[in-house]
Structure 1
Amino acid sequence: MHTVFVTGATGLLGNNLVRLLLERGLVVRALARSQAKARAQFGEIPGLTIIEGDMQDVAGFAPALTGCDVVFHTAAYFRESYGGGKHWAMLKRINVDATAELIAASYAAGVRRLIHTSSIAVVNGPRGALINESMTRDPRDADDYYRSKIQSDAVVQDFLRSHPEMFAAFVMPGWTHGPGDLGPTAAGQFTRDYLKRALPGIPPGTFSFVDARDVAFAMAAAAGKARRGEHYLAAGHHIAMPDLVQIYQQVTGVPAPKRKIPVAILWPIAASQELVARITGRPALLSLATVRTMRAEAERTRFNPAKSHDELGLTFRPIAETIRDEVAWFKKQGMV
């Protein structure tokens, strides 16, 4: 690799991937929806070129793909779909249709290698099972976001079948935290709410907690080591919420909430939040889609890292390290 293209470059995963690639001496073209947001995220970094554009208009930035050796696709429509209301049209437009347009435009520009950000959403298994990349999720057992990620992977796989000289591989992150969360994502907002002691209690559920820098490592490694058409989990550590808030308390010194919130109470809270969201136009802090996902995925967050470890060299840093660095970054930005 010499010159690479990164979509979603100002996002949590995208900006950490951009920084890693630059550290390795690569020339990076970074897609961002605005120059202002890109400057806020990166400042001025040698070797980095900001390409202003949007996944809703792939043709508009397609000329910048020419001359690139690898395209890393991290952009996705995600957090908005958990803010209440119906979002299928935009989920399909960005996560499915635009992905198909991107791989076609990349190929037309002479690019023959794409690393696609998939998701743990595309796999599933029984509660308590150790889930691996072969345990694909039935689309009928998927919410709209999960379904969009399944279809997103499918359009890349379809392209590979019809273009044997094209290479693509898939990296599957879990619940991603870490420094550089300018948005912030829902994960970053959870950290900020914890620091403000704004959490009303401990919600139920289990999660697969991963550092964005570890996912970025997996993406970069996949460009050189992955097998064509293969999926690689980068899901991190399985943890239950009561255990996670204890780590937050140890790292930050902020007392963890003690009251556990049962799922039965979350449903009316989410319904009222969505009603407020419709009136005010602001996203719901807790949506019905979030509660459904939390309930459905509980104890389905143990993912087998063996394939990614053996083939990509992927390891995961401790959760406490991630939280410490995430909090320090938020404080440095004045976001807490």
Structure 2
Amino acid sequence: MTDDLETARSTRLAFVTGATGLLGNNLVRELIADGWRVRALVRSPDKARRQFAGLDVEMAHGDMLDVSGFASALAGVDTVFHTAAYFRDSYKGGRHWDALYAANVEGTRHLLDHTYQAGVRRFVHTSSIAVLHGARGAVIDETMLRDESDADDYYRSKILSDRVVLSFLETHPDFWAAMVLPGWMHGPGDIGPTSAGQTVIDVALKRLPGVPPGSFSVVDARDVARAMILANDKGRRGERYLAAGRHMTMSDLLPLVAEASDVPPPRRRIPLWLMHLLAAGYEVYARLTGRPVLLSWAMARTVATEDDRSRYDHTKSERELGLRFRPLSETLRDEMAWFRANGVIPA
């Protein structure tokens, strides 16, 4: 019986959206390590070849804005792991609601429809801590849902995409889905880079002018990937599972990043009023030129409103899934090593 179970697991086929992203590429690697076959949705074949050199990964070329264009690649899949999302550009100045809604809400809706039409009945959705909310200093769990009125455009898009998943479950009783809620992800393979990776790069290259305000829940992308696999194997239908990591202020995090980078940490504090002032100037520039900026008004607002709202209770994920988190020192060491190995930071 054990041999039959292992054989069944080794022949399982996963479809991973957003496969070249920080979470997606680590999920691909974790799945392969567990014996899955992987079909990866990629927008850039060149980036995918660089990201997955030496790995046995089947590539499917496509974009979440046109799910029908890659729907045929869903045939024969056992589980769809949906990690793709429009995120990074939404914090680079200007308004991005149309793009957020098209990719994160309508894209998820179309993906669910085509997944079902292809005969696939399992779906693990990457949600976000953005859908949760609590008082400052409170410990937040999966039941503490954020109201749309207290959400910026990105947060709202994630709230609505979760609702799409839950609504689909209501109308398709033979379909199974669960949701994993990551925090601020760090780790190797950040080819983007994400805002987390860019922070590490800026510290390592001594480009960060000071320590900004705010707190975050910091997590290794590999631990989030493991949470998604565990959710598929052990999770309950329609449930949310936190994989947010640990609460940290930027004052806590940046010295650890500097230590991993072997550089002096930034020490000057950037007050919130100055952050808002800089963001306002950048926002005007973004709207006049259409170019992305390092600090948008949306980012400054998020830092201000979410400060000290980054303590999350992982009891449910630990109890039901067996999820564990690795030491942050390991995450930062491996993230730094990857940036150095890929020439982003000088060795």
- Length-normalised TM-score, structure 2: 0.95
2:33 corresponds to:
23
Query: Which residue among 244, 247, 254 is the counterpart of 2:253?
Result: 244
Show CA shifts across 1:97-130 (max 9, x none): 0100001100000000000000000000010000
Is it true that 1:284 corresponds to 2:293 in the alignment? Answer: yes
2:329 corresponds to:
320
After TM superposition, give the deviation of residue 277 of structure 1 in Å: 3.0
Is it true that 1:156 corresponds to 2:165 in the alignment? Answer: yes
Counterparts of 1:75-114 in structure 2 under 5 Å?
75-114=84-123
Secondary structure in 2 aligned to 1:55? Answer: coil
After TM superposition, give the deviation of residue 37 of structure 1 in Å: 1.0
Is it true that 1:40 corresponds to 2:45 in the alignment? Answer: no
**How far apart, in 2, do the equivalents of 1:12 and 1:117 lie?**
13
Show CA shifts across 1:51-96 (max 9, x none): 0000010001001101000000000000100000000000000000
User: Which residue type is aligned with residue 156 of structure 2?
Assistant: R
1:257 corresponds to:
266
User: Which residue type is aligned with residue 39 of structure 2?
Assistant: R
**How far apart, in 2, do the equivalents of 1:197 and 1:107 lie?**
49
Show CA shifts across 1:186-208 (max 9, x none): 11111100111111110011110
User: Which residue type is aligned with residue 243 of structure 1?
Assistant: D
After TM superposition, give the deviation of residue 281 of structure 1 in Å: 3.9
1:268 corresponds to:
277
Is it true that 1:174 corresponds to 2:183 in the alignment? Answer: yes
**How far apart, in 2, do the equivalents of 1:326 and 1:87 lie?**
29
Secondary structure in 2 aligned to 1:115? Answer: strand
Is it true that 1:56 corresponds to 2:58 in the alignment? Answer: no
Show CA shifts across 1:211-248 (max 9, x none): 00000000011111000000000000101111111212
**How far apart, in 1, do the equivalents of 2:246 and 2:278 lie?**
28
**How far apart, in 2, do the equivalents of 1:240 and 1:95 lie?**
28
**How far apart, in 2, do the equivalents of 1:239 and 1:288 lie?**
22
Which is further off, 317-326 or 9-18?
317-326
After TM superposition, give the deviation of residue 320 of structure 1 in Å: 1.4
Secondary structure in 1 aligned to 2:277? Answer: helix
Secondary structure in 1 aligned to 2:80? Answer: strand
User: Contact 2:260–2:336 (CA<8 Å) still a contact in 1?
Assistant: no
1:130 corresponds to:
139
User: Which residue type is aligned with residue 100 of structure 2?
Assistant: L
After TM superposition, give the deviation of residue 45 of structure 1 in Å: 1.8
After TM superposition, give the deviation of residue 279 of structure 1 in Å: 4.6
**How far apart, in 1, do the equivalents of 2:303 and 2:44 lie?**
33
Secondary structure in 2 aligned to 1:30? Answer: strand
User: Which residue type is aligned with residue 216 of structure 1?
Assistant: A
**How far apart, in 2, do the equivalents of 1:277 and 1:92 lie?**
21
Percent same amino acid among aligned pairs?
57
1:234 corresponds to:
243
Is it true that 1:202 corresponds to 2:237 in the alignment? Answer: no
User: Which residue type is aligned with residue 302 of structure 1?
Assistant: R
**How far apart, in 2, do the equivalents of 1:20 and 1:262 lie?**
40
**How far apart, in 2, do the equivalents of 1:245 and 1:34 lie?**
32
- Length-normalised TM-score, structure 1: 0.98
RMSD: 1.0
Residue segments in structure 1 that go unaligned for 5+ positions in a row: none
Secondary structure in 2 aligned to 1:37? Answer: helix
User: Which residue type is aligned with residue 180 of structure 1?
Assistant: G
Secondary structure in 2 aligned to 1:56? Answer: coil
User: Contact 2:22–2:189 (CA<8 Å) still a contact in 1?
Assistant: yes
**How far apart, in 2, do the equivalents of 1:99 and 1:26 lie?**
23
After TM superposition, give the deviation of residue 278 of structure 1 in Å: 3.8
After TM superposition, give the deviation of residue 282 of structure 1 in Å: 3.0
User: Contact 2:124–2:231 (CA<8 Å) still a contact in 1?
Assistant: yes
User: Which residue type is aligned with residue 142 of structure 1?
Assistant: A
**How far apart, in 2, do the equivalents of 1:148 and 1:250 lie?**
36
